Amino acid sequence: MANTLIAEDLELNNIPTSLEAEAQAIAIDINRKKGIATLEKLAPPSPAPDNKKPGEILLGSSPDEIAKKSGLSSREEAYRKLLLGVGYLKEEKPQEALKVLNQVKEASLVQEVAWYKALALIKTGKMEEARVELEKITDSRYFADAQELLSNLPQ
């Protein structure tokens, strides 16, 4: 069932205009690989190795500063990561999807992240972790499917 739910249309609200083309490519599976590649290229540069001392705060390491390095706002960066995670799921790369989805901290995307993390966790066989994510879902776009998945998860 998780495969079917991943294949359904992407139901995201308020996608930033700058990411609409990639969202469309991932949602309808047209040029998905190109959409994923574009989203990967938009990533901010990797930070320098972590040589900081305990308690030291490195400048430029906040989510807003990291997003600025990519030329995206922090909201756009959160959507970029969410879309990238969904793209990886559709490409049968649930571990990569989880890695990216775990980085999304945008409060307005909590439901979407929980939904797609749950699907990725199911694909990796982590049923208890998937259950935790599914139990977070209250959004009407995902609620019925989340409840059905919960009832079908092995105990």
Q: Would you say residue 19 has pLDDT above 60?
A: yes
| Structural domain includes residue 36 | yes
Choice between 53 and 29, residue whose per-residue pLDDT is larger: 29
Percent of the chain with pLDDT strictly greater than 70:
73
Q: How many domains does the chain have?
A: 1
CATH number for 122:
1.25.40
Tell me the per-residue pLDDT of 99-120, one tens digit each, with 9 for 90 and over. Answer: 999 999 999 999 999 999 999 9
| Structural domain includes residue 56 | no
Domain that holds residue 81: 2-9+16-43+65-152
Residue partners of 36: CB distance under 8 A and separation at least 6? 22, 26, 84, 87, 88, 91
- Average pLDDT rounded to a whole number, residues 144-149: 94
What does the mean pLDDT of the chain come to?
80
Question: With 0-12 CB in 10 A as exposed, 13-18 as middle and 19+ as buried, what is 92?
Answer: exposed
Cα gap 2→150, rounded to integer Å? 11
| Structural domain includes residue 52 | no
Q: Could you tell me the pTM of the whole model?
A: 0.74
Tell me the per-residue pLDDT of 82-94, one tens digit each, with 9 for 90 and over. Answer: 999 999 999 999 9
| Structural domain includes residue 30 | yes
| Structural domain includes residue 49 | no
| Structural domain includes residue 106 | yes
